[in-house]
Structure 1
Amino acid sequence: MGKLIDKKIVRPRKTRAKVKGRIVDSLTSAGTIRKDVLGVKTIVTGTVRGRTPRAGEPDILDRAIEVIGTADDAMRWMGTPIRALDYATPISVIHTAKGRESVLAVLTNLDHGVL
């Protein structure tokens, strides 16, 4: 069990990690998600390696949804190799500033019908 802190039950980190692991395993084995798309949490929460986005910095997932149409299609696109990214997946390159810029450039080109 966890400790009661400020009216919340706080579970030890190991327990939380095990629960997350089981959830991920269940979802991947059921075909609900692919492991290579799991990094999307990074986009959704807006954090990359512990850094928060600066004011005015575009949210990549929001931009992808805006350009592509639906959240499901945008998530699928994030896990698809893209020629303009040297056949890397957008999710695999967004962890660097240059990668984020490249993904946003691809989305802008898609939005303008260039690709």
Structure 2
Amino acid sequence: MPWSRSWFPRCAPRRRADSVQSVACRPAGGALESAVSDDRVEAHRDQLEAYEALCRELGAKPAAVALAWLLRNPVVSSTIVGAMTIEELRADLGALSVDLDDAVMRRLDQIWPGPGEAPQAHAW
């Protein structure tokens, strides 16, 4: 989720106000996911462990929870997942059965708070 959370706070409030939708995708079919350095993983170790624990509580894979979060976000009109195999497609479709109620969404916001809403969080 850190990859998806970084741009939402900057543009989501304006997009909601203007009823502008976004499309989220997984660039390069997820090939860039393997490029995450060990330093970045270690820097976010506590968040990753909390996120994985939440996913276990939900009985869902982390990728399915991330996709479910995107699908529940009001400024996202669709997601492009880039599944390259039937197994990846089935895993991505698992997001449709993940129930993210308001309490779970608040927990996700606590785990991945982001920098804050724009423009306040990005003011000079």
Q: TM-score range by the shorter chain?
A: under 0.3
Give the greater-gyration-radius structure (CA): 1
Structure (1/2) with the larger helix percentage: 2
The structure whose RCO (Cα within 8 Å, separation 6+) is larger is 2
- The TM-score with structure 1 as length reference comes to 0.25
- TM-score normalised by length of structure 2: 0.24
